[in-house]
């Protein structure tokens, strides 16, 4: 929340800087493997089960999906997005998303 507020304030006070906060989704990273392997002993059972379910149902995102959006925004984000918090797959970011 603090980072999102920082982005909003920065966009308001520094018009020459474009700042966009991205919610990348649940991404299939090494951390996900660690959660599945070791999380049962340290996490709330329902939360750990959710991560196991995401993996079993193959609904974790490939890192390239949100990374492509973030890289595209770094190069060509417009002022219309500055100060906003959006999910990587938000329709407003369609032009930045990797086409299948």
CA distance 21 to 76: 15
Q: What is the pLDDT of residues 2-27, one digit of tens each?
A: 999 999 999 999 999 999 999 999 99
pLDDT reported for residue 48: 97
Stated pTM of the model: 0.84
In 7-28, which positions are buried (b, 16+ CB within 10 angstroms) versus exposed (e)? bbeebeeeeeebbbebebeebb
pLDDT above 90 (res 99):
no
Which residues sit opposite 61 in a β-bridge? 27
Which pair of structure tokens corresponds to residue 78?
Answer: 């417009």
């Amino acid at each position: 929340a603090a980072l999102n507020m920082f982005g909003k304030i920065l966009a308001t006070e520094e018009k020459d800087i474009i700042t966009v906060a991205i919610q990348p989704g649940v991404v299939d990273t090494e951390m996900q493997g660690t959660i599945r392997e070791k999380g049962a002993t340290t996490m709330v059972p329902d939360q750990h089960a959710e991560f196991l379910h995401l993996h079993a149902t193959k609904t974790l995102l490939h890192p390239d999906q949100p990374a492509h959006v973030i890289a595209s925004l770094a190069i060509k984000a417009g002022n219309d997005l500055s100060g906003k918090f959006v999910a990587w797959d938000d329709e407003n970011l369609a032009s930045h998303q990797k086409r299948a």
